[in-house]
Each structure stands twice: as C-alpha cells, then as structure tokens.
Chain A
Amino acid sequence: MTPDDLFAAHGDLLDESRLDEWIDLFTDDCLYLVIPRENVERGLPLAAIRCESRGYLKDRVVAVRETSMYAPRSQRHVIGASRKQPDGAMTASYAVFQTLTDEPTTVFSTGRYVARIIEGRFAELRCIYDSTLVDNSIVQPL
C-alpha cells in the first residue's frame, strides 16, 4: 500500500464506520493522537484522543460503540495528496464534513495528518486539527 492508499483507506473505513478494519491500519505499538494545533504549536502534549497502542484503539472503538450516547451522524473525509517531509514523516491535509440527521452538512474539522508509516501501516498518526474550538463533540476518530 502506498502512503496515499493508506490515507485513503483511513478516510474510507472511518466514513463507512468499519472501525474494526480501521484498527488494522495501525501497528501493534502505534501512537494515534487527535490534537489541536494550538497545543502542538505551544509544545503542549495534551490530546483530545490519545491511543498509545492498538489495544487503546480497540478500547476507544468499543467504548464509543458500547457506552457513549450520541446523535446519529455521518462523516466524510477529503484527504489531499501526501508529501514526504525531510524527517521522513508523511503529511497530508484533510477536511472532515459532518452530517447530523435533519441538519445540513457542515465542515466539522480541517487540519493536517503527520504520519510515520512502517510496511504500509501507521506506526504513528497525528491528526492535528486547525480550530481548537470543536463543534460540540468528536464522536468518531478523525
């Protein structure tokens, strides 16, 4: 899988709510962060979602599915072409649109992925979102 294929699979599996398959895009000891750009720029470590292994990813997927209460919604990822940075990281811009029942589609999040990819899987995926101010809640991974 090329980096672009991997990013595309990430977006498709999330948009289709195939979260058990989405987990398989990550290595066992992966790091997945959803973190506001504000914290990254200020050198602050706190993330909205922090998964420090594939076990954590499973826990988030199952916990949200089994224990969280939220209104039905769908997501649509649009992910730009990836680029390799001098330090080896793969980066890509993204936009995520959200559709709540009985509501028009809105731009939910824009930002940038910064990934380390090993053998076609994410060893690290940082989703750095632009506006710290989130429209209510981040229910699904971005």
Chain B
Amino acid sequence: MRHWPDEGVSRIPYWVYTDPDVFQLEQERIFRGPSWSYVALSCEIPEAGDFIRTSVGETPVVVVRDKGGSIRVLVNRCAHRGAQFCREPHGNTTTFECPYHQWSYALDGRLLGVPFKKGLDGQGGMPADFENADHGLETLQVTMRNGVVFASLSDDVEPFEDYLGDTMAEYFDRVFDGRELHVLGYLRQRLPCNWKLMFENIKDPYHATLLHVFLVTFGLFRADQPSATRMDKTGRHSVLVSSRGAQTDSSITRSLRSYREGFELQDPNLLTPVREFPGAPTVVMQTLWPNLIVQQQSNTLAMRQMVPRGPAAHDLHWTFFGYADDTEEMTAIRLRQANLMGPAGFVSIDDGEIMRLSQDGVAADVNRSGVAEMGGRDTDDQDHMVTEAAIRAFYAHYREVMGL
C-alpha cells in the first residue's frame, strides 16, 4: 500500500483521490465498515410499504417502512443471483419481487416465495434442505434521530449517540429538533472529483471567504464575522459556524479582493433571511462521516448525501426540506434561497467547478502532496475561519481507519 508523507496530516498525498486500490479499501473499511451512513428522512416514507432507493457507499439499498411502522434498510440485491430487484426510485409496495426468477421478499427482507421450489411435475425444484429462512435479503443496522435515518452495513458499529458525540449532537439537534420535516424537492449532480474533495470543501471555511464572491459581497460568509470550527473527539465529524453581518462598505470588506462594491440585488427578496434558530449563528454546515453534509445557510436547509462513483467522481444528492408547520411565506423564502445552492447555486457553482480543477490537477502527478497548514498543523477546535484544522482532523481519522 501507499506511504503517507512523513509530515503527517498537514500533507494530503494526491493518490488518496485517484488510486483504485485506496478506493476499494475505502468501500471496505469506511462505507461497509463500522460507520453510520445517512440514507433518508423519515418523512420521505411516511406510510407502511413506502420505499426509496439510495446507496451506502457503492452498495445500492432500499429504505422501506415495514407493516409495523419500523424502517428497514435492505441491500438492493436478490439473494438468488444478485440482480437489483428494485428499479423504481420510490414507491409503495407490499412485497419486493425480483423480476429475474420472481423470488419475493417481505418488507423486512425475509424470503417469502421461490417459484418452482418443489419443481414441476416431479422435475427440478430446490433441494429438500433449502430453507427460505437461510436466503433472505442482506439487511443493514438502522437508527433514527429526530426524523433522520442512518444505516450501517457493519454489525460492530457503535450506538449512534456515541458515534455522533455530544458536541455534534448539539448542532444536529439545532436543525432536527423533533419537529416533523417536510421535503421541498431534490437536486442531484455528478461531480467529476473524488468524494473526499467534497468533504474537504465543506471542512474548509477559509476558501469560502475568498472563492465565493457572492457570499462575501452580501455578507453571508466573511472572514471578519464571528465564527468557529468544531470537531467531535475523533475528528471525523465537524461543524462550521458563522454569523451573518451586514453588507457594509467597511475598510475590512473593501480590502477583500472578493468583495464587489456597489453590487446590489434588483430583487432583494432573494436574500431576506428570517431568524428561526436559537443563538447567533446564521450558517451551520455540519459534515457527518462518511457521507453527509447538513446545510443550514440562512433559511435554506438541505441534506447533501455523497455517493462515491469510483475514485474520480461522486454523485451529490440534495434533499431540500423545511418543517411541516412552516407557513406559506416561510416555504417561499426557503425556495428562493435555494438559488444559492444545488447545481445552479450562486455559491455551489464555484465549488463544483473548483473541485473539477482539483481532481484534474492532482491526477497529473499522484506522488505529490497538498499542503494543509492554514491555522497551524494541529487538529484542535478554532474560533475563526482562517483554518484547515477540520481537514487535518478528518485525515487523522481517515488514516486510522484505513491503516495508512
């Protein structure tokens, strides 16, 4: 296997973004390992039999509510010969049936029926000792916190509360406070870069104050605003927290090269945030190992789920949501502010484009390394955004899990 640079996590070797063997090891140790992957919001499948298709790492899964109201997560692979039995992206059903040989399964994954099990006119059929109970679908561990569903392919995963940790739970529960959630819609994009570059992007507040001219210009995210970077005790999860300032022509903002003086919106409704969460922060971006970003920028809320597609690409699935008790006006505000985010977002366009440049750059010479020394070389919490500490903390945990 590869050798990590001697400097430690202040260097990121470029082969982590390109090496197919590293990618396969990530699938085994991270996505199929003892981690909790985000799979759905509970409100997406409110009734018994409701299901959606999604993925845990590269493993296709079906998230379904069973007859008793419990949420089950099943690997979307027939126990017979491996065909993906579920092709519909969402729907409602009483059983799952593989189209190939019509093996049918209960919503909890039990094998219910096998055509020709006893043969036809005394010919064929399964061996006498074939037991349906031995051939159910592979199922995942499932946990739910305030309407958000996570699943794990590993039986050794720790309880979700321990996995999340107290600090992360506090920020998580800020948005998921137990109120019923309501999905506003989906956006999805295929990003031509390794999945870790997406995580790094969100764990790096420093880039946002420079690259995202829109955010800086309108005071939504700026280096001179009160902010913090916090990690859990393992370093695998993190939050970036910041408080919105006014669009002011102060000497500080004028000195920022990213600030566009005199640019005013024709229709200010686009950016009229309403205070709805306790405390000063107006932006909380939380990354939860290994596949989720929880976005709260002003009033636009979204789950961003990462699905790796080989070392050089990943899909980003955005589920925008509000609360079931939102007023019509609040829903309208959330829908407007969604202009900032997604594949056509004033902010996110920059990220999709820059990550393509990153992947193209690193792939050209994988024996080199990136430098992550902003804010020092350690992995501690910081009370500002001029730091790459959360990236270093992420890679400290990554190296441990991967044995690199």
The answer on a CB contact under 8 Å between B187 and A46 is yes
Question: Does A76 touch B at the CB level, under 8 Å?
Answer: no
What residues of chain B lie closer than 8 Å to A66, measured between beta carbons? 213, 260, 263
The answer on a CB contact under 8 Å between A46 and B188 is no
C-beta contact mask, B262-278 vs A, less than 8 Å → 1, else 0? 01011101100000000
Nearest-neighbor residue (CB-CB) of A131 within chain B? B188
Nearest-neighbor residue (CB-CB) of B217 within chain A? A67
Given the contacts A44-B183, A50-B335, A69-B354, A135 and B190 also touching, CB distance less than 8 Å: yes
Shortest Cβ distance from residue A111 to the other chain B in the assembled complex, whole angstroms: 14
The answer on a CB contact under 8 Å between B190 and A133 is yes
Tell me, in angstroms, the Cα distance from A134 to B352 when the chains sit together: 11
Question: Does A34 touch B at the CB level, under 8 Å?
Answer: yes
Tell me, in angstroms, the Cα distance from A89 to B100 when the chains sit together: 43
The answer on a CB contact under 8 Å between B349 and A46 is no
Question: Does A132 touch B at the CB level, under 8 Å?
Answer: yes
Tell me, in angstroms, the Cα distance from A83 to B318 when the chains sit together: 33
Q: Which of B196-204, B339-347, B365-373 contacts A (4 or more CB under 8 A)?
A: B339-347
Question: Does A55 touch B at the CB level, under 8 Å?
Answer: yes
Question: Does B211 touch A at the CB level, under 8 Å?
Answer: yes
The answer on a CB contact under 8 Å between B346 and A68 is yes
B contacts with A, residue count (CB < 8 A):
43
Question: Does A93 touch B at the CB level, under 8 Å?
Answer: no
Question: Does A85 touch B at the CB level, under 8 Å?
Answer: no
C-beta contact mask, B232-276 vs A, less than 8 Å → 1, else 0? 000000000000000000000000000010010111011000000
Question: Does A138 touch B at the CB level, under 8 Å?
Answer: yes
Question: Does A96 touch B at the CB level, under 8 Å?
Answer: no
The answer on a CB contact under 8 Å between A50 and B336 is yes
Given the contacts A133-B189, A134-B190, A137-B343, A68 and B349 also touching, CB distance less than 8 Å: yes
The answer on a CB contact under 8 Å between B352 and A136 is yes
The answer on a CB contact under 8 Å between B266 and A71 is no
Question: Does B158 touch A at the CB level, under 8 Å?
Answer: no
Q: For residues 176 through 208 of chain B, which have their beta carbon under 8 Å from a beta carbon of chain A? A: 183-192
What residues of chain A lie closer than 8 Å to B339, measured between beta carbons? 49-50, 60
Question: Does B350 touch A at the CB level, under 8 Å?
Answer: yes
B183, B186, B211, B343: which contacts A136 (Cβ < 8 A)?
A: B343
C-beta contact mask, A39-69 vs B, less than 8 Å → 1, else 0? 1001011111110111110111011101111
Question: Does B38 touch A at the CB level, under 8 Å?
Answer: no
What residues of chain A lie closer than 8 Å to B95, measured between beta carbons? none
The answer on a CB contact under 8 Å between B353 and A136 is yes
The answer on a CB contact under 8 Å between A136 and B189 is yes
Question: Does B58 touch A at the CB level, under 8 Å?
Answer: no
C-beta contact mask, B141-179 vs A, less than 8 Å → 1, else 0? 000000000000000000000000000000000000000
The answer on a CB contact under 8 Å between B189 and A46 is no
The answer on a CB contact under 8 Å between A59 and B266 is yes
What residues of chain B lie closer than 8 Å to A137, measured between beta carbons? 189, 343-344, 348-349, 352-353
The answer on a CB contact under 8 Å between B214 and A36 is no
What residues of chain B lie closer than 8 Å to A55, measured between beta carbons? 265-267
Question: Does B378 touch A at the CB level, under 8 Å?
Answer: no
What residues of chain A lie closer than 8 Å to B331, measured between beta carbons? 45
What residues of chain A lie closer than 8 Å to B346, measured between beta carbons? 60, 63-64, 67-68
Question: Does A38 touch B at the CB level, under 8 Å?
Answer: yes
Most buried by A among B89, B189, B350: B189
C-beta contact mask, A13-53 vs B, less than 8 Å → 1, else 0? 00000000000000000000011101100101111111011
C-beta contact mask, A106-138 vs B, less than 8 Å → 1, else 0? 000000000000000000000000001111111
Q: For residues 39 through 93 of chain B, which have their beta carbon under 8 Å from a beta carbon of chain A? A: 89-90
Question: Does A139 touch B at the CB level, under 8 Å?
Answer: yes
What residues of chain A lie closer than 8 Å to B266, measured between beta carbons? 54-56, 58-59
Given the contacts A68-B346, A70-B349, A36 and B263 also touching, CB distance less than 8 Å: no
The answer on a CB contact under 8 Å between B186 and A44 is yes
Question: Does B377 touch A at the CB level, under 8 Å?
Answer: no
B269, B335, B356: which contacts A47 (Cβ < 8 A)?
A: B335
Tell me, in angstroms, the Cα distance from A34 to B213 when the chains sit together: 23
Question: Does B394 touch A at the CB level, under 8 Å?
Answer: no
The answer on a CB contact under 8 Å between B184 and A133 is no
B184, B267, B342, B343: which contacts A59 (Cβ < 8 A)?
A: B267
List residues of chain B with CB under 8 Å of any chain A CB.
Answer: 89-90, 183-192, 211-214, 217, 260, 263, 265-267, 269-270, 315, 320, 331, 335-336, 338-339, 342-344, 346, 348-350, 352-354, 356-357
Q: List 22 A-B contacts (CB under 8 A).
A: A36-B188, A39-B185, A44-B186, A45-B335, A46-B185, A46-B320, A48-B344, A52-B267, A55-B266, A59-B266, A64-B346, A67-B212, A67-B217, A69-B349, A70-B350, A133-B188, A134-B188, A134-B343, A135-B189, A136-B343, A136-B352, A139-B353
